[in-house]
Amino acid sequence: MRNEPPTLHFEPADRCLTVDRLSVRYQGKAALRDVSLTVPRHRVTAFIGPSGCGKSTLLRSFNRMNDLIRGVEVTGRIQLFEDDILAPELDVTALRRRVGMVFQQPNPFPMSVFDNVAYGLRLQGLREQRALEGEVEWALRSAALWDEVKDRLDASALTLSGGQQQRLVIARAIAVRPEVLLLDEPASALDPISTLKIEELIGKLAEQYSIVVVTHNMQQAARVSHYTAFLYLGELVEFSGTDDLFTRPQARQTEDYITGRYG
């Protein structure tokens, strides 16, 4: 038995996602081993670690994206507030409304800016134009994109720049007012200024959403997150406050990784 990794504990009212001894195997090969941690509510939590450490697998467990992979076995428990989200009878579509996700490559639908943001709302049955307009404007404002697109809401979303597309995708994700926002390398395909805009946005969104970010960019994790988990070879090595993790990590492996001594 290995020792319990350094971790953080939160009051029940501050817990958003509670992961208890989660293990994930892809066709028999372990991707996550016995991971336990709590993602706090209305905070930004970053997962860092080298490729293959399991950080994306962990992120994708939160909206059951891993279900789409053939031969996946999941054991352990994940609660979203009170709800067991690994329960077989769970309505996965309803879960994904509560847990929104944004990917590395901006993936706007080939339709207008407006329709992109209205997409999820229409799926939820919102038809009234005035109400839709109000919600779309709110989402675009929340994603810090409104001023740039308000005069071309009918233009194709594909005419936007990469950074604008990514903020559009974030607007689309938050339009349905999820509880959690999962961001998988949200800025790694963007230029430095667009990256800073996304980071600024993440900070603002944390006032209303619980956010989990997976990133290869350690400095980005340091800038945007309140808490950081370091994963290595499918195991949680350390989960600490971001300020502590980057100035005085408790685990030797964390120290080696964040100082660039990981070989």
Partner 1 sequence: MREHVSGQYDAELDELRAMVTEMGGLVERQLSAVCEGLATWNADPAEPVIALDKAVNRLEVRIDDACTHIIAKRQPTASDLRLVMSIVKAITDLERIGDETTRIAKMLETLCALPPLRDPLPELTEMMTRVQSMLADALNAFVRVDEARALDVITRDRSVDRAYQALVERLLGEMEAHPAQLRSYHNVIWCARSFERIGDHAKNVGEYIIYLARGQDVRHQGLGAPSDR
Min separation Cβ 255 and partner 1, Å: 5
Min separation Cβ 256 and partner 1, Å: 6
Give, for 184, the enclosing helix (H) or strand (E).
strand 180-184
> Closest CB to partner 1 among 143 and 187?
187
Give, for 261, the enclosing helix (H) or strand (E).
none
Give, for 171, the enclosing helix (H) or strand (E).
helix 162-175
| Strand-strand pairing, 72-80 and 235-241 | unpaired
**Site mask for partner 1 (CB under 8 A), range 168-207, x = bound:** ----------------------------------------
The percent helix, strand, coil of the chain (3-state, each to 5) is 40, 25, 35
Min separation Cβ 242 and partner 1, Å: 11
Residue 48 found at the interface with partner 1 (CB under 8 A): no
Span near partner 1 by CB under 8 A; candidates 116-124, 144-152, 169-177, 252-260: 252-260
Residue 258 found at the interface with partner 1 (CB under 8 A): yes
Residue 161 found at the interface with partner 1 (CB under 8 A): no
Q: Residue 103 has what DSSP assignment?
A: -
Residue with tokens 């994109």: 145
Other beta carbons less than 10 A from residue 190's beta carbon:
21
The phi, psi pair for 178, rounded to 5°, reads -75, 170
> Closest CB to partner 1 among 28 and 260?
260
Span near partner 1 by CB under 8 A; candidates 69-77, 109-117, 208-216, 250-258: 250-258
Residue 262 found at the interface with partner 1 (CB under 8 A): yes
Which DSSP string corresponds to 129-151? HHHHHHHHHHHHHHTT-HHHHTT
Q: Which of 121, 176, 222, 229 binds partner 1 (CB under 8 A)?
A: 222
Residue 249 found at the interface with partner 1 (CB under 8 A): yes
27, two tokens: 């066709």
- Residues contributing to the site for partner 1 (CB under 8 A): 218-219, 222, 246-249, 254-256, 258-263
